[in-house]
Structure 1
């Protein structure tokens, strides 16, 4: 196995989250329902009262479900279809962690989005001539959103901030590549 394929596997493992929590939750729910059904059947066989619903009553309810109003049956079917669709989509798509990979030849470098946001905020504040506390950056999968609030009585130009942020993003060489969106607020912040 080559080094690049190992690096690729490590990078994927660090940037994508497994669906373990969903699988464990569904397994626990199925186990609890199975235990409950088994308990109800055993209680029915030995002539004891049911915990929640006796198997014969449950069977009668299912058989008589066709007599319910059409709207209720349609709504229940739609809800079940949506739950099933969500579970199928969740099982087929990979979860994403808030991390990016920096391209290097010798190692796998994974950087958290909060670290990227802090670095971009510092550079954007310097380029815009604002206080770093007045700069807020949110980093998503393929986008960095920079919100700058200038000090009261001053203005900040968007172009130098965008240039500084884009230059930093290019220098980092992240995968997937981030695009920047800069927003300079019209009203300033007092005291900064």
Structure 2
């Protein structure tokens, strides 16, 4: 995979941070615009919109004597906002997509599409209708849930092998471990 394909794959498999960055930018611009407006109104001798600059400075200076509950609440809110912004900045936001190894092109497959193919293969291996199987995919694990027909037994190992083989045919990157969950209560009919 060349550098351009690698960039495209990264863009398609990781979520952008534009929404978080835009929200932070709008909040900062609004705060600076409000402070600037209050300053201009004070210089012109007009009434403040919310709080005059002197009152703002007095409130900041009096913050240590505001009382422990208020200071703790402000610290908790600021800490939570900081942790959220730090997590958004550092953690890799992953989309529910996987890289499929292609011969001539960069291919990205949606997890829902892969889960649908796996559910179809699991339903054939378990001899149940496709509506009786659901598959959910995580980064390295997959869960296959089967509701069998009443009185019919499902061979978990056979279903696991069939699902693993189908996943291997997709030629995605990275290993996958599957859990097969069979409902203890079946349903009537096929």
> Shared fold (TM-score greater than 0.5)?
yes
Aligned residue in 2 for 1:53? 51
Aligned residue in 2 for 1:184? 182
The within-5 A match list for 1:1-192 is: 4-192=2-190
TM-superposed CA distance for 1:23, in Å, is: 0.7
Partners of 1:43 and 1:151 in 2: how far apart?
75
* Secondary structure class of the residue paired with 1:81: helix
Partners of 2:188 and 2:175 in 1: how far apart?
35
TM-superposed CA distance for 1:142, in Å, is: 2.0
TM-superposed CA distance for 1:191, in Å, is: 5.0
TM normalised by structure 2 equals 0.91
C-alpha contact (below 8 Å) 1:44/1:50 kept by paired residues: yes
* Secondary structure class of the residue paired with 1:27: helix
Q: Deviations over 1:111-166 (max 9, x none)?
A: 00110010001001111111111111112222221111112333322111111111
Partners of 2:110 and 2:39 in 1: how far apart?
51
TM-superposed CA distance for 1:8, in Å, is: 2.1
Q: Deviations over 1:36-74 (max 9, x none)?
A: 111122222222222222222222111111112224323
The alignment's C-alpha RMSD in Å is: 1.8
TM normalised by structure 1 equals 0.90
TM-superposed CA distance for 1:94, in Å, is: 2.5
TM-superposed CA distance for 1:178, in Å, is: 2.4
* Secondary structure class of the residue paired with 1:182: strand
Alignment length (residue pairs): 190
* Alignment gaps of 5+ in structure 1: none
* Secondary structure class of the residue paired with 1:174: coil
* Alignment gaps of 5+ in structure 2: none
C-alpha contact (below 8 Å) 1:142/1:176 kept by paired residues: yes
